[in-house]
Structure 1
Amino acid sequence: MEFLCVNILAGSFELPYLSVYLDATGSYFTYGANFATAGSTIRPQNTTLAQSGFSTISLNVQYYQYSQFHSRSQIIRARGGVFRELLPKNDDFSPALYTFDIGQNDLTSGLFLNMSTDEVKMTVPQILDQFTTIVKYIYGEGGRSFWIHNTGPVGCLPYVMDRLPITAGQIDSVGCANSFNQVAQYFNQKLKETVVQLRKDLPLAAMTYVDVYSIKYSLIKHARKHGKPV
């Protein structure tokens, strides 16, 4: 889950921002918890943060943290005391909204390992298999409402365009690397198919697929319209 996205969502419902799960002080989890980290991936990376810039807290680790939070929060509530009101009730977990904004770094990590775009595409099924597993785990713990973002146009990211070789012919009219955006579009196509299958596999769940790619690409394409200085 991405910290910024989920807090924008919370703000739109006039709710407090979600506390970060790993924040040691001042956390208030009654309205939920944020398990996201910058640079996180769906698949665990065989590198350290210093080596690659990608977080070691991949989606499976975030799920383990969530599962521990689910069980331990109820243990603490049962003990009473000052922390009781800082934690959600057990009945809060099933109707909660579970948001996911992850996968972009899985694509860029492959590109940074000098994989071709076709090679990165070949990793997508395994990436989404792991994503599916985590969603099913959360469903197994009672989660029923899922808000799933697709990934943005990675070929428009400055750090991608700066680090990877790009020819003039690969640049589209907006100034983005078309070949890398095609990788993102392929991922999104397969993610949408995954969500369709999850709806069949998890009949009690409500799955919302959000096209973040189109929104972000439009913001870049129409930057001046949205307030970028001329």
Structure 2
Amino acid sequence: MNMMISSRIRICFLVFMCASLGIIPTPSLGHSHICLPNDHVAQFIFGDSLFDAGNNNYINTTYQYRANVYPYGETFFNYPTGRFSDGRIIPDFIAEFAKLPLIPAYLHPGYKRYADGANFASGGAGALVGTHLGSVIDLHTQLSNFKRMKTLLKKEIGEAEAKTLVSRAVYITSVGSNDYVAPYTANSSLFQSYSPEEYVDMVIGNLTTVIKGIHKEGGRKFAFVNLAPLGCFPFLKLINAGECVEKITALVKLHNKALPHVLQELESQLKGFKYSITDFYSIVSEIMNNPIKYGFKEGKTACCGSGRYRGVNSCGGKRSVKVYELCEKASDYVFFDSSHPTERASLLIAKSMWSGNQSVTWPYNVKALVEQRVFEVELKNTIPWPPPLPQELILDPVTLEELYSLLFICELRINHNNQPLQVVASANTATKQPQQQTRQSGEKIKLQYSLPLSLSVGFSLQGSMFSCRALMGETMESFGSLERMVSNSVWTLELVQSFNGGGRVELVELGVQVSLKLV
């Protein structure tokens, strides 16, 4: 049996830290170079019309799924951009708070600066591929677009730099509304084919698949909004005699109950997964029912549209109904059209996402996610792994323990200009109640061993480089040649990541366990 493998191992782990500002030269997606601060965090956006910055302008679809006509965009841009709003949408404000430029639609032919992020959202999209099939960019296709974008990013700025950018980025998603509303308004048989719980599980399951896909590509920090009180939106109240549609409300509540549980599970399953979820339902309900409290004049009727509550989706006059009414001042309204918030309402929601307390945004707000730093660290050893161990042992004495554990000690040396600043030591010994077995003196016994390596290093970083040395200790019980074989082995684990600037990293822990089993 070959007990030796490569003398170099690579172990990547995530360290979340708050770093001070420094400047890192980074190539842009053009041929010139740009300088990104080391607190630069890109923003990648997925979902539906709540977040769509105009991707549907560039696909073969109808005006039912587009907002590239006046009066959309009139407040801020003074022209229609494809955003379903009179002005900016929620991700625009999140970008502004994060000191990023507005993130345009990924499909915009003039946009290639992916160092700031990209917007993949599509009006009308759902988590389910079949939602508005053929007319929108579904969530799974949005993930495929992200993968294509990442390939371009690696070609332009290099694989290592792209990996860092992707891991530091925040992934913002709003999806699910169309999966529930589309079958209802189309009088589909879907709701007869599945129980409400089964249907919600299907929607959440598709969302989970995409989250895992983004994580596999290197994404670590995710922000979500749950579903709004869709059943009470103007377009649904219009077709339900002025009443909220309780069937939709019930599905929304099931969805909003399931989503946090799934995210908690993903946090325990996926390496480095961190998330924020904003209670969109409560925020929108509050401003709809108490508009004056938040500076609005009207919370239940839209600014643009026709019919009761202006709930007919006719804003812009390019859809099936050509006639529409337009209010004088969009900022007085919570809704711009029959199902989308005004710019001013979007600002209030974005503020809650960005810096809201635990009552509306948990377990982190988006600001906290942006400020968390992710460093990929490489460790390498200077002797072969696994260490050389005997394949056979001549036993003496006759009674031996079945399982032995070795002790590793890590000394973390932090240096700046070759001067040590701090030394942190941590040790972890694996203990297991040994079994005893009587053997004959002089009997040859074959050895099997497992060498699980679990390494998590935390440190206080004040300099530019650091290194870690792990010393292999003696076995818990000395027993002849095996002890001599392993006790003098010395490992040097060098953390090769260099840092500019300063900062602080929490979570001090290192443990390496080697188990030897006599059979």
Q: Normalized against structure 1, the TM-score is what?
A: 0.81
Count of residues paired in the alignment? 208
| Equivalent-residue separation in structure 2 for 1:26 and 1:138 (angstroms) | 21
Corresponding letter in the other structure for 1:13: A
Give the aligned partner of residue 73 of structure 1. Answer: 153
Corresponding letter in the other structure for 1:16: P
Q: 1:21 aligns with which of 97, 100, 106?
A: 106
Instruction: Show structure 1 runs of 5+ residues with no match.
Output: 50-54, 79-87
Q: Normalized against structure 2, the TM-score is what?
A: 0.38
| Equivalent-residue separation in structure 2 for 1:151 and 1:125 (angstroms) | 15
Give the aligned partner of residue 185 of structure 2. Answer: 112
1:63 is displaced (CA, Å) by 0.1
Give the aligned partner of residue 95 of structure 1. Answer: 168
| Equivalent-residue separation in structure 2 for 1:17 and 1:177 (angstroms) | 35
Which secondary structure state, in structure 1, belongs to the residue aligned with residue 277 of structure 2? Answer: strand
1:48 is displaced (CA, Å) by 5.0
Give the aligned partner of residue 215 of structure 2. Answer: 139
CA deviation map 1:121-166 (0-9, x unaligned): 4311111111111111111111110111111111122222234xx3
| Equivalent-residue separation in structure 1 for 2:116 and 2:196 (angstroms) | 37
- Per residue, is there more helix in 1 or in 2? 1
The percent identity for this pair of structures is: 23
Matches of residues 53-72 of structure 1 in structure 2 within 5 Å?
55-72=135-152
Larger radius of gyration: 2
1:46 is displaced (CA, Å) by 6.3
Compare 37-46 and 63-72 and name the one that shifted more: 37-46
| Equivalent-residue separation in structure 1 for 2:267 and 2:111 (angstroms) | 37
CA contact (8 A) 1:147 1:209 kept: yes
| Equivalent-residue separation in structure 2 for 1:137 and 1:66 (angstroms) | 10
Instruction: Show structure 2 runs of 5+ residues with no match.
Output: 1-45, 53-88, 299-519
1:222 is displaced (CA, Å) by 0.8
1:219 is displaced (CA, Å) by 1.1
CA deviation map 1:169-189 (0-9, x unaligned): xx4xxxx43442222111110
1:223 is displaced (CA, Å) by 1.3
Matches of residues 5-20 of structure 1 in structure 2 within 5 Å?
5-20=90-105
Matches of residues 190-209 of structure 1 in structure 2 within 5 Å?
190-209=258-277
Q: 2:203 aligns with which of 114, 121, 127?
A: 127
| Equivalent-residue separation in structure 1 for 2:276 and 2:201 (angstroms) | 20
Name the Cα RMSD after superposition.
2.3
1:47 is displaced (CA, Å) by 4.7
Which secondary structure state, in structure 2, belongs to the residue aligned with residue 19 of structure 1? Answer: coil
Give the aligned partner of residue 158 of structure 1. Answer: 234
| Equivalent-residue separation in structure 2 for 1:39 and 1:24 (angstroms) | 21
1:91 is displaced (CA, Å) by 1.9
| Equivalent-residue separation in structure 1 for 2:273 and 2:111 (angstroms) | 33
Give the aligned partner of residue 433 of structure 2. Answer: none
